[in-house]
Amino acid sequence: MPVTRRREWHIRDETYSVALAELVNAQFRQPFAAHWGEGVTSSSDGQHFKAASRAESTGHVNPKYGTEPRRMFYTHVSDQYAPFHTKIVNVGVRDATYVLDGLLYHESDLRIEEHYTDTAGFTDHVFALMHLLGFRFDPRIRDLGETNHRRQRARRSVHCRVRVQQPRSGKGQRSDWLLTAPGEKP
């Protein structure tokens, strides 16, 4: 059997997901893993890697990186430092598009309750879907103090905790803000 055929037969998304789940589950069952966390908290982020082709010709142009060819791996990592979901994604699309994929489609035994992202992993839609699906969502939103936020009146209030990174004039200090509607108690 040719090498390319073997690669197609063995290395597919499905086989990779199953193998990754077995590794994550083996680590999760080790008593020492509990020293890092309970396996209920996770974070996700994209890592960009240079590619060999011209990005312009393939349509993979990222506003941040320009036409330099890159591919992005979007990875979810548990609080036990186990990467339980990884996906190769389009560099031209915001990270928030892939946040829920790892939480809903991983095949490990982890029961994630709370998830952290950076600014690129946050949109209003992700906030809403996380709440509807029962996840606590804690994004770090850059420049939140300079952003205008509007909220429709709701019958039931939804509280969300966000971590704010101060602008450079604040020397990179971080503070926690609790977003609530006027008149609501935190």
The length of the chain in residues reads 186
How confident is the prediction for the chain on average, in pLDDT?
75
Alpha helices in the chain (DSSP H): 3-10, 13-29, 55-58, 99-105, 124-133
Q: What is the pLDDT of residues 91-137, one digit of tens each?
A: 777 888 889 999 999 999 999 999 999 888 878 888 888 889 999 98
- Nearby residues of 68 by Cβ (< 8 Å), 6 or more positions away: 50, 55
pLDDT in tens, 58-72: 656 666 666 677 778
pLDDT bracket for residue 143 (50, 70, 90): confident
The SS3 of residue 48 is strand
How much is the pLDDT for 89? 82
Token look-up 């103090």 returns: 145
Q: Report d(CA 112, CA 24) in Å as an integer.
A: 13
Per-residue model confidence as pLDDT tens digits over 20-52: 999 999 999 999 999 999 999 999 998 888 777
Average pLDDT for residues 2-26, to the nearest whole number? 78
Give the whole-number percent of the chain exceeding pLDDT 90: 33
The whole-model pTM stands at 0.69
DSSP 3-state of 97: helix
